[in-house]
Structure 1
């Protein structure tokens, strides 16, 4: 029996990054020997065991063969005869196909260290085409490390797209990879990579359609709507580590990639189309409900933050109520973060503060102080109480905004 550290933990150590999880592969052993040494089996498709003390995963060396389309269409073979190099050969990228022995010697049969040094993402073997999730993983590594994709790997991905392999991706796996990409330091690189290899149109058509659409007003000749959304997404990543805020930033302008006549004839105005497309994207990827809900509301109200001093008190109150912010005040904070990211997603505004942010927050804080007690004391009942609360809140909003409206 020989035991090696493999995959991401080796890659990250060589990059000088913190190693969070360690993966191990066992060569020259069998199930009976693993059980005899106290390992606990957990694998369903192939032999994987938990260490009796550390509880880390130890997988027996294996090979795999494509037997059907999609992520689950593989046949695995694990036996004492499978070598370490054969196990590494089934992995996706050269930077993930390295191992370390007990003395920290690196076993690197596919020159992963050279690709790490040159910041290249390169497939290990032509078997890369057999697993469509690898395209998403590659783009996620591009976002995480700011690496470039090797030309021969781009060609393989083009083959995968032509063969319809990406159409077999299951929603949960796409969302899983998207979630990790959105939580990276510069999420835009994930989408730029997918666009570069030709996969964005298949995987995220709502995003792909934004590129080439003129941004109005035209801040910069090279900033179309697609570029603007990428800038907004990266600004959201700077402002917050909240996945919901980042997803909302991604979706806020989706409607600009369509017209009412294209695919959504019943939705007029790009805000309404952004709402519909956000719902469509979220349903397709099975995005968690709370994350979808915020994205829809940001799509609906994101321009209100920029036009605050032009809005009526009733329109401002509608934002608070639409966000359900009086019951969930964190929703308003998330909304303001997404709105600020939108404001900063323009050349020259990267470090600017949203001018309306403080005034918007002051209106909300003051409106939260209004409650039903004084109106009940006056003898109001039922709908009359709600109407009185709304009237009082509108009065407060007007008082808070009046000084700013005079300046504007």
Structure 2
């Protein structure tokens, strides 16, 4: 019985990066032996055990065979006869198919260290094409390591294209897809994830609404980059540079979907794209079963981001409606995330990445003015129910008018 660290722990140590997750493979052991040593079994698909003292995971070396469609369409075989090399060959990329023992002796049958040094993401074997989830995983690794100069090998891209064209991506569950998408959006260069998916044809299969934005022009006055797809990538890039949370990054990705529906004869203008895009944002949200906070913010940003840009021009009554839509009195954080998404949108334009965004502080000030309207005096007047609501609305409108007048004087 031999134990090896495998996958990301080995890869990141060799890259000189912090090692967070450690996967271990046990060679030469059976389920019965692991149980006899006190290990606790977990996982229904293949034999994984928890160390009774440390809680760390140990997986028996195994092979796999394609038996159906999608990520779950595999039959696994684990036994003491399965070698380390047989276990490693079923992995996705060569840089993830290395192992080391406790003395840091490296086992690298598929030249992962060579590809690490060459900064190449390359598949281990043709079996790569049996698992559609690997398209998303490779794009995610490309986003994570783009800053180190990593690119996807041409032959791996070819296999990713084959998978994208095969219809296998449609067999992925919403949960598995969202797990990869959400992790990729939180990488250092999330825009690379979207670009790689587009390059291999996966984006039009998974998010045709986003793919449709590429090649759609916008007015050069506001968008020097012109192309809506490129603008979306830039907004996503800004969201990462400014360390935005997942909710904001998801909203940044989907905020302009309505522009993909504009008839060509109306280009480069996109009248009412904020409203036409809502059904598309809703469809993408539901397709991947995005968390509720991500869904809500994406829809609100899609509908109101141009309000954010025109904040200083808005009438007090429109400003009040905007604040009411976000329920800023009970959910101030959501409005703060909306402001962040608007700022990323403004900065995600060629040559305008460093420009100031005074709308942000103006909107924060407006929210503060509305929130500071006291309810107690109205209650003391005996108001309640709808009457109280209307009176509160009038007082908030009065406060916003005063705020606007002072702020724009």
Q: Do both share a fold (TM > 0.5)?
A: yes
Q: Compute the displacement of 1:404 (Å).
A: 5.0
Cα drift, residue 402 of structure 1: 2.3
Alignment correspondent of 1:274:
277
The secondary structure found in structure 1 opposite 2:215 is coil
Q: Which residue of 1 aligns with 2:99?
A: 99
* Contact preservation (8 Å) 2:178, 2:289: yes
Deviations 1:352-403, CA, capped at 9 Å, x for gaps: 3312211211111011011322123234343232222222222222222225
Is 1:62 aligned to residue 62 of structure 2?
yes
Partner of 2:390: 387
Answer yes or no: is 1:399 the counterpart of 2:402. Answer: yes
Distance 1:107 1:240 in 2: 37
Which residue of structure 1 lines up, in the alignment, with residue 6 of structure 2? 6
Q: Which residue of 1 aligns with 2:312?
A: 309
Cα pair 1:219 1:347 within 8 Å, conserved: no
Q: How many residues in Structure 1 have an aligned counterpart in Structure 2?
A: 402
TM-score, length of structure 2 as denominator length: 0.94
Can you give the 5+ residue segments of structure 2 that lack an aligned partner in the other structure?
265-270
Matched, 1:337 2:340: yes
Please give the alpha-carbon distance, in whole angstroms, between the structure 2 residues aligned to 1:157 and 1:177: 16
Task: Please give the alpha-carbon distance, in whole angstroms, between the structure 2 residues aligned to 1:36 and 1:380.
Answer: 72
In structure 2, the partner of 1:144 is 144
Return the offset for 1:223.
Answer: 4.0
CA contact (8 A) 1:370 1:393 kept: yes
- Root-mean-square deviation (CA), in Å? 1.9
Q: Distance in 1 between matches of 2:74 and 2:387?
A: 65
**Displacement after TM superposition at 1:219 (Å):** 5.0
Q: Is the 8 A contact 2:225 2:231 kept in 1?
A: no
Q: Distance in 2 between matches of 1:399 and 1:182?
A: 41
Aligned to 2:163: 160
Could you tell me which residue of structure 2 aligns to residue 86 of structure 1?
A: 86
Partner of 1:229: 232
What is the alpha-carbon distance in structure 2 between the residues aligned to residue 127 and residue 253 of structure 1?
37
Which consecutive residues of structure 1, in runs of 5 or more, have no partner in the other structure? 262-267
Residues 172 and 285, structure 1, Cα contact 8 Å, conserved in 2: yes
Larger deviation: 35-44 or 336-345?
A: 35-44
Query: Using the alignment, how far apart are the partners of 1:3 and 1:82 within structure 2?
Result: 13
Secondary structure of the structure 2 residue equivalent to 1:248: helix
Q: Which residue of structure 2 aligns with residue 175 of structure 1?
A: 178
Quote how far apart the aligned CAs of 1:51 are.
1.4
Q: How does 1:315-334 map to 2 (within 5 A)?
A: 315-334=318-337
**Shift of the alpha carbon at 1:218?**
4.4
Higher mean Cα deviation, 394-403 or 282-291?
394-403
Shift of 1:179: 0.5
1:286 corresponding residue in structure 2: 289
**Residues 203 and 211, structure 2, Cα contact 8 Å, conserved in 1:** yes
Q: Report deviation, 1:221.
A: 5.7
